[in-house]
Amino acid sequence: MDQELTPGEALDSGSAQVSPAAPANADTPAPATPVAPFQDPDPSCLRAARVWRDGRLLHDRVGVNEIVTLIHDPSVLVWVDLVAPTEAELASLARRLSLPATAVEDALGPKERPKLARHDTHLCVTVYAVMPERSTPEHLEMSRISAWVIPSALITIRLNDSFDMDAVVHRWEEDPDLLKAGSGALIHGLLDAVVDDQFEWIETLDNRMEDLAGDLFAQRQVNAMFARTIFDVRGELVTLRRIVLPMREVVAGLVRDPAMASPTLRPWFDDLYDHVLRAGEWTESLRDLVSSAFETNLALNDERLNTIMKKLAGWAAIIAVPTAITGWFGQNVPYPGFNDPLGVWLSAGLIVVCAGTLYLVFKARDWL
């Protein structure tokens, strides 16, 4: 008969089984080696798993079978990290954890917005982390992170490994006393890292807008590249608002959840909610600033065009006076080359030189 192991023994001994008794008669053929009970192999998507008890790290790597056992032990805190799991792998794990089928849909559903979904057995959180080191002025790189929050465990599901979970783990283990509060401490540390990355990129956009505002008023003129840059910043802000503003609902929902109502966690979630509000307000102010810069650029271009038109009209009026006088009196006075074929070439050359000079002057002043 197989020996039934406690959670701690299952973790320490893994899949060890009780050895069969030795045969009583040496002449009797040895019985066939018994087949060990079936255990699921660790899926390839299992990237990391850690176990804490009372804030102290017990194990930094466990298998999926031990995870299923330990996750129901209220004396320990478990974190499991899955990267790019298939629907079948995630559904299998959900069944073993007694989670509903909707948990898989929440974690892998396409085009999910940041949200907090409540279920009888768990909470499902979906957020988007910004990758400042991988983003460019033309493209905002993001990474989607979903999480199942169980009273004694946090299971993160990532579509790729671009987000640095090592930094999150470092945050968790900086405060062992906070880990004693349960999975709420884990989801707080994860969301805090996500919001910090969003703040970093918002600050980058704010610095770019300050530079653009300086260029707008410092230069005599701005070219099409300025308008293109403004358009790119506006596009990034639209994308950023879609992932930053819903974070208010996510954090507010966690604050209201009874499982997160621990006196230890409440001030930390209040601080996180304040950061989320500031990030949302900052994106709104940046959107207004971008719109103002775009409208100011148009107004300055209109003002500049009006100035050019006034100068051209002034030049036209000055030239029109002698033209009108000479045309009215039909003046035809002798000039160098008069009644001589050379005069034709001299007048034609004079016209070309004067027209060319005016063109260069207008071009240098950007009137043409």
Whether residues 154 and 260 share a domain: the answer is yes
Answer with the one of 251, 271, 298 that is the final residue of a domain: 298
Is residue 20 predicted with pLDDT exceeding 70? no
292 lies in the same domain as 337 = no
Residue 163 sits at φ, ψ, to 5 deg, of -80, 135
292 with 350, same domain: the answer is no
Residue 153 lies in a domain: yes
**pLDDT at residue number 26:** 39
CATH of the domain at 108: 3.30.460.20
Q: CA 291 from chain center: how many Å?
A: 22
Q: What is the pLDDT of residues 137-178, one digit of tens each?
A: 677 889 999 999 998 899 999 998 889 899 999 999 999 999
Query: Pick from 274, 298, 322: which residue ends a domain?
Result: 298
Q: Do 279 and 142 share a structural domain?
A: yes
Average pLDDT over residues 118-143: 85
Task: Please tell me the distance from the alpha carbon of residue 55 to that of residue 25, in angstroms, as a whole number.
Answer: 53
> Does residue 286 share a domain with residue 363?
no
Is the domain of 244 the same as that of 367?
A: no
- Tell me, yes or no, whether 193 and 342 share the same domain: no
At position 32, the amino acid (one-letter code) is A
Residue 6 has pLDDT above 70, yes or no: no
User: Does a structural domain hold residue 178?
Assistant: yes
The answer to whether position 102 is within a domain reads yes
Look up the domain containing 345 and give its range: 333-368
311 lies in some domain: no
pLDDT tens, position by position, 37-90: 334 556 788 888 999 998 899 888 888 888 888 888 889 999 999 999 999 988
Angle between helices 247-256 and 183-218 (to 10 degrees): 150
8 band by pLDDT with thresholds 50, 70 and 90? very low
* Domain end position, chosen among 298, 321, 345: 298
pTM over 0.85: no
Q: Are residue 161 and residue 275 in the same domain, yes or no?
A: yes
Residue 276: pLDDT band with limits 50, 70, 90: very high
Task: Round to whole Å and give the CA distance between 78 and 62.
Answer: 10
Count CB neighbours of 107 within 10 A.
27
Do 221 and 340 lie in a common domain? Answer: no
Average pLDDT across the chain, whole number: 79
Average pLDDT over residues 200-223: 77
Q: How confident is the model at residue 325 (pLDDT cuts 50, 70, 90)?
A: low
320-330: average pLDDT: 66
Instruction: Say what the pLDDT of residue 327 is.
Output: 67
Locate tokens 């040496």: which residue?
26
Q: 142 pairs with which residues across the strands?
A: 130
pLDDT for position 221: 55
Decide if 199 contacts 274 (C-beta within 8 A).
no
Q: How many domains does the chain have?
A: 2
Band (pLDDT 50/70/90 cuts) for residue 101 is: confident
CB 257 within 8 A of CB 265: no
- For the segment 229-242, the average pLDDT, to the nearest whole number, is 85
- More confident call, 195 vs 17: 195
Claim to verify: residue 246 and residue 345 sit in the same structural domain: no
119 in a domain, yes or no?
yes
Does residue 54 lie in a domain region?
A: yes
Band (pLDDT 50/70/90 cuts) for residue 335 is low
Instruction: Supply the pLDDT for residue 29.
Output: 42
What pLDDT sits at residue 219?
Answer: 60
| Distance separating alpha carbons of residues 365 and 308, to the nearest angstrom | 9
Average pLDDT over residues 107-128: 88
Whether 19 is covered by a domain: the verdict is no
207 shares its domain with 98:
yes
**65 with 199, same domain?**
yes
Residue 305 lies in a domain: no
